[in-house]
Structure 1
Amino acid sequence: MNQTEYLKYDGLALAALVRNKDMRASELLDMAIAQMQRVQPSINAVCWEALDDARTRAAAMDAAPPQGAFAGVPMLLKDIAVSVKGMVLANGSRLFKDCVGTYDSELAVRLRNAGFNFFGRTTSPEFGANCTTEALVYGGPTRNPWNLALSSGGSSGGAAAAVAAGIIPLAHGSDGGGSIRIPASSCGLFGLKPTRMRNPMGPVAGEGWGGLGVEHMLTRSVRDSAAALDATHGADPGAPYAAPRFDGSYLRAIETPPKRLRIALVTQSPSGEPVHEDCVAATESAARLCESLGHHVTRTTLPDCNFEAFGEAMRLIVAAGTAQAVQAGSAMRGRRATLDDLEISIFTAVDLALRSSAVDYANAVGLMHRVGRQMGVFMQDYDVILTPTLTAPPAPLGRYAADRDYVTHRSDTLRFTAFLPYFNASGQPAMSVPLHWNAQGLPIGVQFVGGLGQEDVLLQLAAQLETAAPWFDRLSPLADAPLSQN
């Protein structure tokens, strides 16, 4: 298999090659490493490598091919939260830059049981608290394979860049305010944020950012996302709460087209500020496509959730989670964290958290719950909400750098991501779908939001859209560019 052939396969297809003994797991790993070494100098997407361990596991798979859905498929984990014993986990921060995992997170266990072979980690902004990926710990920003002057998005920016550059066909990500959907839109990928606590957070953590955070994947194909969710979903022991039970198979669900859906079309930003014409055009085009597939589309607006108050509450919840992580890092180091350890936005986020009261935090969580109630009422009239993913095309590098005070910085990023975090607050599943490219050849994603616990409906719709307007073979210029162009 050569580079061009490798890029034609999604994860499930690669695994089939291994199970059928048409390729060995070690050969797949070599392909992924070769592509990584080819594009990494351009995009800076992979931050910590674990190649020796991966080669050892691949050799074991060669001797006894695993039977998991993703048997032998190379995998990169995001440099946030998911611990793997013996693998560096820096959380995008200089404070944790040489920390090594001492246990396996439940999600890592389930991914490994599905057959994935971890060979490194992808970049993230510090503690995942940004919409671009430019953390100082990595020595440079992560660049967008569609245009190296632009960001790949965040916080799963390294994951998106790695997939869009053809290193692997899917990569682990997480989403606490858009962090799967932002980079999916920016890099022309499919990105599903599952229902709150659909995937496990244990065995140590109970929840992320007061229930805003979830884990899943960025993929090139819908079926890879569905199959990965089949492999990972379900509560783990001691979970504080769980997503609505799902006893079927997401992969089998997408074999059936969705029923005629009632789709709410929203193009007006919750912030009240203008949305870029490319993002509006992408959403309007997606609405027409949905209508052509037999769905009923109604133009409307989102419930008034008081955008400014929502932003203030979310900033406090994220700041509190960040301060908790920083305090743990400080205890580990035996000293207080300084600006030599933390970027300005994060350093001032800790200050905000420490100046706020327990009542302030309880009020912030209460506001998140009220948003969830409002969205629940709104969804009684609709099956799906359709919005732009972002309010503008992929951002230039530096536009959202974390070199400002936290409140100013996060207020700025929230306007860019305004359509996304309400659905972290409500816990609803949401996905960014790559249905549009603008005149400059940049991907512009559109967001579909489902009812609580209804990932199967979203995935059915995504598979239908993928068939009607295929995107899998639309590769970034970097993915299959000759080596001499790098």
Structure 2
Amino acid sequence: MEEVVMGMMVSRRSFLKSTAATALAAGAYSAGLRPALAAPDLARMDALAQAELVRNGELTALDLVNAAIERIGQVNGQVNAVVTEFYDRAREEAKGTLPQGPFTGVPNLVKDLDNLQGTRATSGSRLFADKISSETDPLIAANQQAGFVMIGKSNTPEFGLLGTTESLFLEPCHNPWNLDHSTGGSSGGAAAAVASGMLPLAHATDGGGSIRIPASCCGVFGLKPSRGRIFTGERNLPGDIGVQHCVSRSVRDSATLFALTEMQGEGAKLAPVGRVEAPGKKRLKIAFNTMNYYGNEPEADVKAAIEETAKLCADLGHEIVPVTNPVEGEPFMNAFLTIWASGPSALVKLAKENGLDPNEVLEPWTVGLAAQYDAKPGDAMEKALAHFAKATAETNAFMEGYDVWLTPVLSSAPPKLGQQGPTVPFDTLYERVVNYVSYTPLHNAAGTPAMSVPLSWNDAGLPIGSQFAAPLGGEKVLFELAFELEQARPWADKYAPVFAG
């Protein structure tokens, strides 16, 4: 039987036979994979395909872990996606009895905003340079229960506060498609690790676009779930709009992990979706616009890419309806950044309470956001939350008339590193950020699911993702559409110039 495994047409039987024979000849079942033969093949397989090799006894979990460690070693010096390694811990775990699931034995990374007990958790900041996690966060535990072996931490901007991964403490993460360009943020390390072939899938989080932005910049798939869909812990913070999931090379990896980690039973806030495995048959009514909520168009290459995506959807039989963004940008972004800046304000206070100079342990962007928040009137948070409720109502009313909403992810292709780094003068950086990230935050405020699908590359070879959103709880429609787009315009055979394989 012939099947496509992440862009390679291979005979499954002959692939397994040759891989196993090579492994046995080298004594690799005890020592790990051979670099010259198995590792490049694994780099081109998605997580489910890798796990199948373990499940069938052709390889071991230790083989997969060792191969991923080797691939990281090949390219991480150029990309800087992995910022903390716990390889010995991962090897010991892989040698033991792992939970049995669809991903058993597959290596994964923890975004360095989150906790894995006993490992470093810096949040990309000098303030937490020496922090060691005392517990494991719920979604990381759920990933482990699905069979993943966590092997390291992925790069992130300080506290996830920027749409580019250029932490002063962890140092910039470089885009595998062009090392001079940004990976996006805040899950930039995760997306770069997947795009460069280190791993097939990586944990990611999204508080204002932080799954979709790096997915777009790095040419991988990234879906932000509905708020309340996946349990991430009882934080009860005002305006908490963050969600978690992953970035991946294949839609099926993302859809499978989603089904394993969505809340079910008595605690579920939304009706469970279950495992989506194929395109849907229903033809969708798709709202479409390229203009952002300020009334501005994106750069020409982005506009052309999203228009081409709309044409692709129309060719597939979906109805494309040109629309105008229902939300007024300036008051919405003011409310968003009020809530966004409340965290930095608390961090500045924390630094001072511990006798530290905020300017020495926090980045200029973080300190600037804190100052902006502290200068606001006392009822600023209350008004921002009220505006979020208004924007949510407007978004929900708008989306009642459509199955899906198509827009750009970002106003431009990935910018060069430094253009949106944390040391750019605050007012200049503020203006750049609010224009660059002017399509994604709305779906965090409204809680609606949205995804970046890697359908386009510009003339410079940089990826441009297409954002599709659905009404609250509409992940099934998004995954079905993603499967259809993946079949219609495959991206699995597109590999970045910096790729471990």
Structure-2 residue corresponding to 1:450? 470
Q: Which amino acid is 1:226 matched to?
A: A
Structure-2 residue corresponding to 1:292? 315
Alignment of structure 1 residues 105-184 onto 2, 5 Å: 105-138=137-170, 140-184=171-215
Asked if 1:402 is matched to 2:433, the reply is: no
Asked if 1:79 is matched to 2:112, the reply is: yes
Q: Is the 8 A contact 1:323 1:350 kept in 2?
A: yes
Asked if 1:68 is matched to 2:88, the reply is: no
The alpha carbon displacement at 1:330 in A equals 5.5
Asked if 1:233 is matched to 2:262, the reply is: yes
Q: Is the 8 A contact 1:254 1:456 kept in 2?
A: no
Q: Is the 8 A contact 1:199 1:233 kept in 2?
A: yes
The alpha carbon displacement at 1:206 in A equals 3.1
The alpha carbon displacement at 1:201 in A equals 2.0
Asked if 1:8 is matched to 2:44, the reply is: yes
Q: Is the 8 A contact 2:221 2:452 kept in 1?
A: yes
Q: Across the two proteins, how many residue pairs are aligned to each other? A: 465
Structure 2 alignment gaps of length 5 or more:
1-36
The alpha carbon displacement at 1:254 in A equals 3.0
The alpha carbon displacement at 1:343 in A equals 0.7
3-state SS in 2 of match to 1:9: coil
Q: Indicate how the Cα distance of structure 1 residues 396 and 351 shifts in structure 2: closer, same or farther if over 3 A, else same.
A: same
Q: Indicate how the Cα distance of structure 1 residues 400 and 417 shifts in structure 2: closer, same or farther if over 3 A, else same.
A: same
Structure-2 residue corresponding to 1:262? 285
Matches of 2:315 and 2:192 in 1, distance apart? Answer: 32
Alignment of structure 1 residues 70-469 onto 2, 5 Å: 70-80=103-113, 82-138=114-170, 140-203=171-234, 205-206=235-236, 210-234=239-263, 243-246=269-272, 248-249=273-274, 251=275, 253-303=276-326, 305-328=327-350, 334-404=354-424, 406=426, 408-469=428-489
Matches of 2:358 and 2:98 in 1, distance apart? Answer: 48
Matches of 1:79 and 1:325 in 2, distance apart? Answer: 17
Q: Which amino acid is 1:141 matched to?
A: P
The alpha carbon displacement at 1:402 in A equals 1.1
Q: Is the 8 A contact 1:95 1:337 kept in 2?
A: no
The alpha carbon displacement at 1:224 in A equals 0.6
Matches of 2:317 and 2:71 in 1, distance apart? Answer: 41
Q: Which amino acid is 1:349 matched to?
A: L
Q: Is the 8 A contact 1:267 1:387 kept in 2?
A: yes
Q: Indicate how the Cα distance of structure 1 residues 202 and 65 shifts in structure 2: closer, same or farther if over 3 A, else same.
A: closer
Structure-1 residue corresponding to 2:12? none
Deviations for 1:27-54, whole angstroms, at most 9, x for unmatched residues?
A: 1001111111111110111111111211
Q: Which amino acid is 2:248 matched to?
A: T
Q: Is the 8 A contact 2:217 2:414 kept in 1?
A: yes
Matches of 2:360 and 2:98 in 1, distance apart? Answer: 46
The alpha carbon displacement at 1:188 in A equals 0.4
Of stretches 128-137 and 1-10 in structure 1, the one that deviates more from structure 2 is 1-10
Matches of 1:236 and 1:367 in 2, distance apart? Answer: 32
The alpha carbon displacement at 1:83 in A equals 1.5
Structure 1 alignment gaps of length 5 or more:
482-486
Q: Which amino acid is 2:218 matched to?
A: C
Structure-2 residue corresponding to 1:25? 61
3-state SS in 1 of match to 2:180: strand
Q: Is the 8 A contact 1:265 1:385 kept in 2?
A: yes
Q: Indicate how the Cα distance of structure 1 residues 40 and 256 shifts in structure 2: closer, same or farther if over 3 A, else same.
A: closer
Matches of 1:330 and 1:258 in 2, distance apart? Answer: 58
The alpha carbon displacement at 1:323 in A equals 2.6
Q: Indicate how the Cα distance of structure 1 residues 31 and 266 shifts in structure 2: closer, same or farther if over 3 A, else same.
A: same
Matches of 2:256 and 2:357 in 1, distance apart? Answer: 41
Q: Is the 8 A contact 2:279 2:483 kept in 1?
A: no
Deviations for 1:194-214, whole angstroms, at most 9, x for unmatched residues?
A: 1012111215x235x713211
Q: Which amino acid is 1:379 matched to?
A: M
Q: Is the 8 A contact 1:191 1:431 kept in 2?
A: yes
Q: Indicate how the Cα distance of structure 1 residues 166 and 395 shifts in structure 2: closer, same or farther if over 3 A, else same.
A: same
Structure possessing the higher radius of gyration over alpha carbons: 2
Q: Which amino acid is 2:388 matched to?
A: M
The alpha carbon displacement at 1:337 in A equals 4.2
3-state SS in 2 of match to 1:340: helix
Q: Indicate how the Cα distance of structure 1 residues 227 and 346 shifts in structure 2: closer, same or farther if over 3 A, else same.
A: same
Q: Which amino acid is 2:121 matched to?
A: L
Q: Indicate how the Cα distance of structure 1 residues 243 and 473 shifts in structure 2: closer, same or farther if over 3 A, else same.
A: farther
Asked if 1:473 is matched to 2:499, the reply is: no
3-state SS in 2 of match to 1:381: coil
Q: Which amino acid is 1:361 matched to?
A: M
Identity of aligned residues (%): 40
Q: Which amino acid is 1:233 matched to?
A: E
Deviations for 1:329-353, whole angstroms, at most 9, x for unmatched residues?
A: 655xx22442110111101222233
Q: Which amino acid is 1:360 matched to?
A: A
Deviations for 1:63-104, whole angstroms, at most 9, x for unmatched residues?
A: x45411110110101111x21110111111000011010011
Q: Residue 43 of structure 1 is aligned with which of 44, 69, 79? A: 79
Deviations for 1:333-378, whole angstroms, at most 9, x for unmatched residues?
A: x224421101111012222333334411010111111111001110
Matches of 1:5 and 1:135 in 2, distance apart? Answer: 33
Q: Indicate how the Cα distance of structure 1 residues 212 and 231 shifts in structure 2: closer, same or farther if over 3 A, else same.
A: same
